[in-house]
Amino acid sequence: MNQRLSQLFSRRGFLGLGLGSAAGMVGAGMLNTMGQAQQEPTPMPPMEGMDPSNHNNLMSEMLVGEVNHVANGFDPMQMLVDWDYGTITGATEDGRLIREYNVSAGDIDIEIAPGIFFPAWTYNGRVPGPSIRATEGDQLRINFSNFGSHPHTMHFHGFHTAEMDGVPGIGRGVINPGEAFTYEFEADPFGSHLYHCHAMPLKRHIHKGMYGAFVVDPREGRAPAREFMMMMNAFDTNFDGGNEIYAVNTVGHEFMRRPIPVKVGETVRVYLTNIVEFDLINSFHLHGNFFNYYDTGTTLEPTLRTVDTIMQAQGQRGILEFTFRWTGQYMFHAHVSEFAELGWMGLFNAVNENDYSAALAEVGLDAEWDYKGTHGSAVSQSEVTS
């Protein structure tokens, strides 16, 4: 056992005893609960406020209440724009940037709808895990440590050797609790990709929350736009092999309670992934608008033009681009009505430039969120950090 591994084992021991002295290694939110044993699933409370007699009030069809994002340690609204570019630690002999990322697995309980908790397995204490972003050709080093209660892996979609595939029995295979491994490969091809745990049983490890976006920008970048990461996910809260809550970025109906501010006339670009387990098909439908779609994001020209609904099977991804012509609130949701009613439904709030600051403030956002949303490309990021 090398020194790094022995350190990890001792840290794992601390966490298991609930002494939690590894604050420098894991987020505070993770520390709160990482030492706890897996809890029994929380039964679904009745959906209060669902009043079938009221047909004119959207809110009457929604999950009612507020989710405590601070206690969760992550906010779906911030997840739209909080890309992880890693740290540029050098260059390869052939002159490509080396980007290093730190990812830790850990067990935490998360609130996925008001009052509904789910015992998640996470990357970096959040579901989805960090939105890893790089530029085509970068050399990526993903330093993965497993502080969780089960063996896990990180399986990336992209070109890489079998040894780096993060699959049980091939290369290093599963990373056991207390162990660490560095996955290394080139960011190739550009596109809207994903990573997820590939330990067995696969459907359990994925639906527990072990997945995240992996976006690779083309070398020349893409045209300026307001960019969002949207992960269509769902949760089986009673472990019966079917989902009870559906969402984009984990929290059901979050973007109905807090419409996403966008500006009339600007290009909106969504990096969309479907990771929903147990249901064969998910979809994304946009109101009052049409979009161009780049299947898997691996082309610079759209693969579908002027559509308002796309389907994704589990693991499929793509990029949507659209522009709002008029101010107002525009829904986006699964065109599977059941999913929409169980949480997969949100709103864009399209406003004029002069009203944008007010629209941000209404949903608890500031200029930093606006900046991150409009400066997401890793191409420009490397100019800043290198």
- If you write DSSP's letter for every residue of 327-385 in order, what string do you get? -EEEEEE-SSHHHHHTT-EEEEEEE-GGGHHHHHHHTT--HHHHHHHHS--HHHHHHHH
Shortest reach from residue 134's CB to Cu ion, in Å: 23
Q: By C-beta, is 202 or 264 nearer to Cu ion?
A: 202
Which of 11, 99, 152, 317 is in the footprint of Cu ion by CB under 5 A? 152
Q: Does 22 bind Cu ion (CB under 5 A)?
A: no
Shortest reach from residue 248's CB to Cu ion, in Å: 22
DSSP assigned state of 381: H
Question: Could you tell me if 104 and 123 are in contact, meaning their C-beta atoms sit under 8 angstroms apart?
Answer: yes
Name the segment binding Cu ion (CB under 5 A); options: 204-212, 231-239, 278-286, 298-306. Answer: 204-212
Shortest reach from residue 86's CB to Cu ion, in Å: 21
Q: By C-beta, is 99 or 198 nearer to Cu ion?
A: 198
Edge-first strand order for the sheet with 328-333 is: 260-263, 345-351, 328-333, 281-286, 309-313
DSSP assigned state of 163: G
Shortest reach from residue 318's CB to Cu ion, in Å: 25
Shortest reach from residue 105's CB to Cu ion, in Å: 7
Q: By C-beta, is 152 or 222 nearer to Cu ion?
A: 152
Question: Which residue type occupies 377?
Answer: S
- If you write DSSP's letter for every residue of 184-227 in order, what string do you get? EEE--S-EEEEEE--PSSHHHHHHTT-EEEEEEE-TT-----EE
- At which residue do the structure tokens 């949303």 appear? 373
In 3D space, the residue among 166, 177, 176 whose CA is nearest the CA of residue 206 turns out to be 166
Distance (Å, whole) CA 264 – CA 141: 39
Length of the chain equals 386
DSSP assigned state of 105: E
Which of 205, 226, 253, 269 is in the footprint of Cu ion by CB under 5 A? 205
Name the segment binding Cu ion (CB under 5 A); options: 152-160, 173-181, 285-293, 317-325. Answer: 152-160
Which of 194, 199, 319, 336 is in the footprint of Cu ion by CB under 5 A? 199
Reading the block at residue 339, the tokens are: 């999913």
Distances in Å between the Cα of 381 and the Cα atoms of 222, 229, 253, 287, 378 are 13, 17, 31, 32, 5
- Residues of span 52-81 touching Cu ion by CB under 5 A: none
DSSP assigned state of 92: -
Question: Could you tell me if 92 and 123 are in contact, meaning their C-beta atoms sit under 8 angstroms apart?
Answer: no
In 76-183, which ranges are continuous DSSP H helix? 76-79
Reading the block at residue 335, the tokens are: 């065109």
- Residues of span 314-373 touching Cu ion by CB under 5 A: none
Shortest reach from residue 274's CB to Cu ion, in Å: 19
Name the segment binding Cu ion (CB under 5 A); options: 203-211, 249-257, 306-314, 359-367. Answer: 203-211
Shortest reach from residue 353's CB to Cu ion, in Å: 45
Distance (Å, whole) CA 142 – CA 1: 20
Name the segment binding Cu ion (CB under 5 A); options: 171-179, 205-213, 319-327, 340-348. Answer: 205-213
Shortest reach from residue 142's CB to Cu ion, in Å: 15
How many residues at the interface with Cu ion, by CB under 5 A? 5
Q: By C-beta, is 127 or 345 nearer to Cu ion?
A: 127
Q: Which residue is nearest to Cu ion (CB)?
A: 197
Q: By C-beta, is 199 or 216 nearer to Cu ion?
A: 199
Q: By C-beta, is 116 or 175 nearer to Cu ion?
A: 175
Fill in the per-residue mask, 23 to 42: x = in contact with Cu ion (CB under 5 A), - = not in contact. Answer: --------------------
Residues contacting 7, CB < 8 A, separation 6+: none
Return the bridge partners of 61, or none: none
Q: Does 197 bind Cu ion (CB under 5 A)?
A: yes
Fill in the per-residue mask, 206 to 245: x = in contact with Cu ion (CB under 5 A), - = not in contact. Answer: ----x-----------------------------------
Distance (Å, whole) CA 332 – CA 339: 12
Fill in the per-residue mask, 109 to 148: x = in contact with Cu ion (CB under 5 A), - = not in contact. Answer: ----------------------------------------
Name the segment binding Cu ion (CB under 5 A); options: 14-22, 202-210, 251-259, 321-329. Answer: 202-210
In 3D space, the residue among 100, 164, 102 whose CA is nearest the CA of residue 130 turns out to be 102
Binding site for Cu ion (CB under 5 A): 152, 197, 199, 205, 210
